[in-house]
A and B are shown apart, each in its own frame.
Chain A
Amino acid sequence: MDTRALKRWGLRGLIVLGCGAGVWALLLLAHGAENSADFNRRQPWILLLNSCAVLALGVLLTRKLWQLYRDFRNHVPGSRLTARTVGMFGTLVVVPLLIVYLFALEFLNYGIDSWFRIEIKHGLNDALMLSRSALDLRLHEQARRTEEIARAIAGLSGPELAVRLDATRRTTPGAAITVYDSAGRVLSLSGGPGAALPPAPSAGVLMQIAAGRDYVSLETPGNGRAQIVTASPLARAAGVPPGRFVLVDYAVPTELSRLADAVQSAYSNYGDMSAARRPLKISFMLTLTLVLLITMLAAVYGAVWSAQRLTRPVKDLIAGTRAVGKGDFGTRLPLPSRDEMGFLVHSFNDMTKRLRRSREEAALSRQAVERERERLAVILSRLSSGVLVVDAQLQLRSANDAAGVILGSDLASRVGQGLTDGVATNSLLAGFTAALRARLASGEREWREQLPLKDEADPRVLLWAGTPLPDDGPEAGLVIVFDDVTALLNAQRSAAWGEVARRLAHEIKNPLTPIQLSAEQLRRALLRGLDTEHARILERATHTIVQQVDAIKQMVDAFSEYARAPEVQLARFSLNQLAAEMVELYRLQDPGVEISVELDPQLGEVEADRGRVRQILANLLSNAIEALAGVTGAAISVRTRWVLAAPAAQAEITVSDNGPGFREDILSRAFDPYVTSKARGTGLGLAIVRRIVEEHGGRISAENLVTGGARVRILLPASVERRAESRRERA
């Protein structure tokens, strides 16, 4: 059994004990009032039981009040209301009780005092004196008469005495005359020999007679009638033996006897009551006080109990309201009754039920929205277009993965931050943000156009469109959707250049052979007929024509090569091995240039067209060697690296030199056809390289090194699938 159950049973036991003690004490009290003998024996039990009743009630009340005080201090919901109600009920109960108690005490005092008013005492004493006077007169008269009888029979004895006694009794009605000797033995009596013997004279009579004095007394033998007992010695007369005396009992008249009894009874009753006056007062007061105490304790206990019962629904409501405030809508309160409080509790339960239902619906809606958001997030993450949501202050609200890839920044980690924060290290993002700020400053809220972003290593062209978010007010955020169209533009440009090259090759190459043949025929035909001077001029002119035609042929062949787009023959091979072979080849070709190679051992086989990748490396190495002409300490570095970057693993090839680098004016167009810084270059080498890279789904960039020199960086997807993914991303 747990502590709570023990307490509950203890409390019930205490209540039963208190009630039982009270009832038992009452029964004992009632029984004691009927039986005086038992009352003495039961008195301690009555006291003990009353004490138990008061104690039990006191303990119960103390417990209730302590509970109330504790709740009040701990700010338990509803405790203040309960305390106020208890105070109100207690005052309503205690004040009238106290008033009644004080008035009862006063009436009690007055009532008991009125029993013993001085007039009553005086009246009783007067009645007593009157009775005594009447009886004293009769006593004296009877005493004198007995003395006369004694004198009359003093000298008589024997039959003569008996005759005289009979005669005397006849003249004294109601009197019994007996003559005794000094030892109290009967010598003669008025009733004659057949009369019943009277009782022996009392010790008092004998003592008085022995002292030679008369005896007179009013006695009540117990038969309801008083009698006057008189005795007188006979020895006063001469010749009478000493010690003899006559005892005469005179019957008191009935009326007088009754009155004397009445006076005696009244006096006795008054005396009893008077003696009990003070303890009776105290008894009444204490009894009243005890009754008040029990009543007051019971009343206050009842007030506390009633207040708690009355305020329990309110406390439940407060607790329920707090629970609802904390979000617990499952709170159900017990219905206390069918009154107004019950209606209130019912309304509360109805409210919590509706709230719970609303919350469940809201939760379902939230889940649906969340599902939609997740779906949208998946869609956005799979989009190749970048999507950004910013507010009017350029705070980034949302961004998909493609946006971060295109702008080269981890935008997901910057959500909630300003888009312009920390853009200094990312020229693409800086350019994008600057363009966006310019848009916002111009007040333009909706646009769609190309946005070129300058970057030394990897310039980009974006196609971006902005539109304000709906229902977001004048400070509405913007949704910006953008695509990296660099590759597309490059492809378009390459296609255009390829068409130009193809037409040039077709239109130009055809007349070159007749020109060259004609020039040689002209030389052969005319050379013999000319003098030395003219022959030398002809020789030089035809040689120039043939040489320039060859140059034009080479140029046209280069154009043809650029325009030709053979099918890519994919195969798996080791890029490291190919790079090492190419480096070794060019080391042998030009020993004046130090070519170092750094190969990543983690770089495995790639899936590409080995011949065309070889062409890339050859073009880059050739360009580097040509750029290093005349440079002291010329050095070329070839490096491969395995890049595990999103969205696909890539092989990186970097060729750098310590030459003069790209001219600033052509750096951004280094991979366009006919852009070259060399006097004799066709400007198609790097263009072909970019074309091959793009055919493989890769990316190429060129930059000048801070330490001097140029660096070309190529990223090739490691496999076909990854290449396809890369193409998708870039598309």
Chain B
Amino acid sequence: MAKSFVVIRLMLGVLPLLATAVAHADDPLDGELEIRSAYAVPSRGVIMLSARVAYPRSPLLSGTLKDGVTLSLDLECVVSRHRRFWLDAEAVNLVRHSELSYQVVADRYLVREVDAGTQETFATLEAALAHVGTVEEWPIAVEAMLPSDEEWQIALRAGVRRGHMPDALRALMFWSDAWHRTSEWYTWTLVR
């Protein structure tokens, strides 16, 4: 009985230590990650979103990319209507997936738009991040979906995930957020 208690106590002591060690390690994803600006305008019946996103830039990130790590860059957009006594009504929930990797054979940075299936290479990391951080006219909703007599809130946030890890392995890392970062929500009211 006493032995089992000692073991449990030791384990309970080990868990926070491990978590602390993980949390305090230098990470390539550390750094600025925010939505700098964003706006949405209707264009021929479609709500088009444009934004500027600042992704982390550091030598550590560059080194990580050159070590073969792929970065997943997600841009999540939610359009919702506020309800006073109930949960907000969500009309749109979109995620735009991009990937940034370093082509070690060609010595170039590759940006791949996952959803569109296009890709583009860049000689420098800055050029690649600037490209991926510039969103122009992203169609997020048909105007008819969002009745104009109601006030619609648009929320945008960016996320960076490290590695092309198999999902099964990622499931094991459910306890840790060290492999991904998420920006704060950038919200504004749709004006038409």
CB-CB contacts of A51-93 with B at 8 A, as 1s and 0s? 0000000000000010000000000000000010011001101
Q: Hey, which chain B residues are within 8 Å of A39, CB to CB?
A: 167, 170-171, 174
Is B48 on the interface with A (CB-CB < 8 A)? no
What is the bound-complex CA distance between A290 and B171, given in angstroms? 14
| Complex alpha-carbon distance, A289 and B174, angstroms | 14
Contact with A along B94-128 (1 / 0, CB 8 A): 01000001011111101010000111011100010
B70 and A268 within 8 A (CB): yes
- In contact, B105 and A128 (Cβ under 8 angstroms): yes
User: Are A272 and B173 interface neighbours, CB within 8 A?
Assistant: no
| Chain A interface main SS type | helix
Does A581 reach chain B (CB closer than 8 Å)? no
Contact of B179 among A34, A93, A263, A279 (CB under 8 A): A279
Stretch in contact with the other chain, from B3-11, B34-42, B84-92, B145-153? B3-11
Per-residue CB contact flags for chain A residues 249-276 toward chain B (1 = under 8 Å, else 0) read 0000000000010011001111111111
Closest to A266 in B: B68
Residue among B7, B8, B173 making CB contact with A283, cutoff 8 Å: B173
**How distant is the Cα of A90 from the Cα of B6 in the complex, in angstroms?**
13
Shortest beta-carbon distance from A31 to chain B in Å: 10
Task: Tell me which residues across on chain A come within 8 A of B179, comparing CB atoms.
Answer: 276, 279
Q: Distance (Å) between the CB of A98 and the closest chain B CB? A: 6
Considering the complex, give the chain B residue whose CB is closest to the CB of A289: B11
Chain A residues near B70 (CB-CB < 8 A): 268, 271-272
Q: Is A350 an interface residue (CB 8 A)?
A: no
Q: Determine how close the nearest CB of chain B comes to the CB of A276; give it in whole angstroms.
A: 5
A280 near B4 with CB under 8 A, answer no
| CB-contact partner of B174 in A46, A217, A272, A292, under 8 A | A46
Cα(A229)–Cα(B41), bound, Å: 38
CA distance A300 to B127 in the complex (A): 58
Q: How many interface residues does chain B have, given as a range? A: 35 or more
With a CB–CB cut-off of 8 A, which chain A residues contact B172? 280, 283-284, 287
How distant is the Cα of A285 from the Cα of B172 in the complex, in angstroms?
A: 10
Which residues from A are CB-within-8-Å of B69? Answer: 268, 271-272, 274-275
Q: A272-B164, A283-B176, A287-B172 are in contact. Are A204 and B68 (CB under 8 A)?
A: no
| B1 A279 Cβ-Cβ under 8 A | no
User: Inside 8 A of B118's CB, which chain A residues have their CB?
Assistant: 222
The digit string for B8-30, where 1 denotes a CB below 8 A from any CB of A, is 10011011001101100100000
Whether a CB of chain B sits under 8 angstroms from the CB of A132 is yes
Whether B174 pairs with A94 at a CB distance below 8 angstroms is no
Known: A272-B68, A275-B67, A293-B8. Is A217-B108 also a contact (CB below 8 A)?
yes
Q: Is residue A243 within 8 Å, beta carbon to beta carbon, of the partner chain?
A: no
Cβ distance A94 to chain B, nearest Cβ, rounded Å: 4
Rounded to whole angstroms, the CA-CA distance of A83 and B106 in the bound complex is 70
In chain A, residues 355-392, which have Cβ atoms closer than 8 Å to a Cβ of chain B? none
Interface size on A, residues (CB 8 A): 64
- Asked whether, in the complex, the Cβ of A268 is within 8 Å of the Cβ of B1, the reply is no
Q: Is the CB of A296 within 8 A of B7?
A: yes
Q: Mark A215-227, 1 if CB is under 8 A from B, else 0.
A: 0011111100010
- Does A485 reach chain B (CB closer than 8 Å)? no
Q: Are A286 and B171 CB-contacts (below 8 A) given A217-B106, A264-B104, A293-B8?
A: no
Q: Quick check: is A43 within 8 A (CB to CB) of the other chain?
A: yes
Task: Report the separation of the CA atoms of residues A33 and B169 in the bound assembly, to the nearest whole angstrom.
Answer: 8
A292 engages B11 (CB within 8 Å)? yes
> How near does chain A come to B57, taking the closest CB pair, in angstroms?
17
Within the complex, which residue of B74, B103, B176 is in contact with A220, where a contact is CB–CB below 8 Å? Answer: B103
Nearest chain A CB to B164 CB, angstrom units = 4
CB proximity of A311 to chain B, nearest CB, Å:
15
Q: Inside 8 A of A269's CB, which chain B residues have their CB?
A: 68, 164
Q: Is the CB of A90 within 8 A of B1?
A: yes
In the complex where A65-B1, A283-B172 touch, is A263 in contact with B105 (Cβ < 8 A)? yes
**Residues of A contacting B25 in the complex (Cβ-Cβ under 8 angstroms):** 278
Instruction: Tell me whether A279 and B176 are in contact in the complex, defined as CB-CB below 8 angstroms, given that A33-B167, A135-B105, A272-B69 are known contacts.
Output: yes
A40 touches B68 (CB 8 A): no
Q: Tell me if B64 is interfacial: C-beta within 8 Å of chain A.
A: yes
Q: What's the least CB distance linking A670 to chain B, in Å?
A: 97
- Are B11 and A94 in contact, CB atoms less than 8 angstroms apart? no
Closest B residue to A25 using CB positions: B174
B165 on the A face (CB < 8 A)? yes
Most A CB within 10 A of own CB, among B67, B161, B163, B176: B163
- B14 CB contacts on chain A under 8 angstroms: 289
Which residues of the other chain, B, contact A36 by a CB distance below 8 angstroms?
161, 167, 170
> Which of B8, B104, B106, B169 sits near A276, CB closer than 8 Å?
B169
**How far is it, in angstroms, between the C-alpha of A669 and the C-alpha of B145 when the chains are bound?**
145
Task: State in angstroms the CA–CA spacing of A485 and B34 once bound together.
Answer: 132
Looking across the interface, which residue of chain B has its beta carbon closest to that of A84?
A: B1
Given the interface pairs A40-B182, A86-B1, the reply to whether A220 lies near B173 with Cβ below 8 Å is no
Interchain CA distance A623-B122 in the complex, whole Å: 164
Residues of B within 8 A of A226 (CB): 106
B159 part of interface (Cβ distance < 8 Å): yes
The distance from the CB of A282 to the nearest CB of chain B, in whole angstroms, is: 6
Query: Scoring B residues 43 to 77 as 1 if CB is less than 8 Å from chain A, else 0, what string do you get?
Result: 00000000000000000000010011110001000
In the assembled complex, which residues on chain B have CB atoms less than 8 Å from the CB atom of A267?
Answer: 68, 104-105
Contact A98 B1 (CB under 8 A): no
Interface status of A619 (Cβ within 8 A of chain B):
no
Residues of B within 8 A of A292 (CB): 11
Is A47 in contact with chain B by the CB < 8 A criterion? Answer: yes
Tell me the bound Cα distance from A270 to B67 in angstroms: 8
Residues of A within 8 A of B107 (CB): 218
Task: Please measure, in the bound complex, the distance between the C-alpha atom of A9 and the C-alpha atom of B122, giving whole angstroms.
Answer: 65
- B4–A286 contact, CB under 8 A? no
Q: Which residue of B lies closest to A292 (CB)?
A: B11
Contact status B108-A268, CB under 8 Å: no
Q: Which residue of A lies closest to B72 (CB)?
A: A36
Let me know if A155 is at the binding interface, CB within 8 A: no
A459 at the interface (CB under 8 A from B): no
> Which B135-192 residues have C-beta < 8 A from chain A?
159, 161-165, 167-180, 182
Q: Indicate whether A271 sits within 8 Å of B176 (C-beta atoms), given known contacts A296-B8, A300-B4.
A: no
* Assembly CA distance A293 to B8 (angstroms): 7
A440 at the interface (CB under 8 A from B): no
Instruction: Flag if B108 contacts A219 (CB, 8 Å).
Output: yes
A132 contacts which of B105, B169, B175 (Cβ < 8 Å)? B105
Offer 19 A-B interface pairs, CB within 8 angstroms, sorted by A. A29-B171, A32-B171, A37-B74, A40-B159, A40-B182, A86-B1, A131-B105, A135-B105, A217-B121, A220-B121, A263-B104, A268-B101, A271-B70, A272-B68, A272-B69, A275-B69, A276-B165, A285-B18, A296-B8
Q: In the A-B complex, list the 10 residue pairs whose CB atoms are closest, starting with the nearest.
A: A271-B68, A33-B171, A218-B106, A272-B163, A283-B173, A94-B4, A275-B69, A33-B167, A271-B67, A272-B164
List residues of B whose CB falls within 8 A of some A CB. Answer: 1, 3-4, 7-8, 11-12, 14-15, 18-19, 21-22, 25, 64, 67-70, 74, 95, 101, 103-108, 110, 112, 117-119, 121-123, 127, 159, 161-165, 167-180, 182
Q: Which A residues are within 8 Å of any B CB, using their own CB?
A: 29-30, 32-34, 36-37, 39-40, 43, 46-47, 65, 83, 86-87, 90-91, 93-95, 98, 128, 131-132, 135, 203-204, 217-222, 226, 260, 263-264, 267-276, 278-280, 282-287, 289-290, 292-293, 296-297, 300
Q: Knowing that A218-B107, A219-B108, A280-B169 are A-B contacts, what are 13 other residue pairs whose CB atoms are under 8 Å apart, sorted by A's residue number?
A: A34-B167, A46-B174, A47-B174, A93-B4, A218-B108, A219-B106, A268-B164, A272-B165, A273-B163, A275-B64, A275-B68, A282-B18, A283-B169
